[in-house]
Amino acid sequence: MSEIARELSVAMEQRRLLEDLATNQGFLLLSSLMQQQADALQQEILFTPCAGLDSAIAAEYKKGELAGRLAWEHLRKTYISSLEITINHLRSKIDDEPDDRSPDANSAP
């Protein structure tokens, strides 16, 4: 197996694992919990007025917590998209590789 074929196999397995998460019950539970926390943080950030520097700093910290809870699912989907690009690239490289099993056009039969 060529190095490119091994890379392709690894990329395809990583993509499958990340796609399979969307049907995993534990992942779905975690996703629901993260969304509940994100919703609560968003409500708190939007509807709690900042009365001073300390509350403004606390609000900024909560914004970071919110961004983290919202970003993790986007990271999974973005990595799947990145793997798709890698897989397509590796497949095209394999298609472009000369086939060592076929006789050379210049060699005599």
- Could you tell me the two tokens for 60? 């900024």
Domain locations in the chain?
3-96
DSSP string, 39-79: HHHHHHHHHS---SHHHHHHHHHHHHHHHHHHHHHHHHHHH
Over residues 39-44, the mean pLDDT reads 95
pLDDT in tens, 45-92: 999 999 999 999 999 999 999 999 999 889 999 999 999 999 999 999
Record the tokens describing residue 36, joined without a space: 């509940």
- What is the pLDDT at residue 102? 54
Q: Residue 99 and residue 97: Cα distance in Å, rounded?
A: 6
Q: Alpha-carbon distance 100 to 75, whole Å? A: 39
Instruction: Provide the mean pLDDT of the chain.
Output: 90
Residue 35: how many CB atoms within 10 A of its CB?
13
What's the start-to-end Cα distance of the chain, in Å? 27
Model confidence band, residue 103 (pLDDT cutoffs 50, 70, 90): low
* Pick from 39, 48, 105, 24: nearest CA to 69: 39
**In the chain, pLDDT over 70 holds for what percent of residues?**
89
> What does the pLDDT read at residue 87?
96
Average pLDDT over residues 4-23: 95
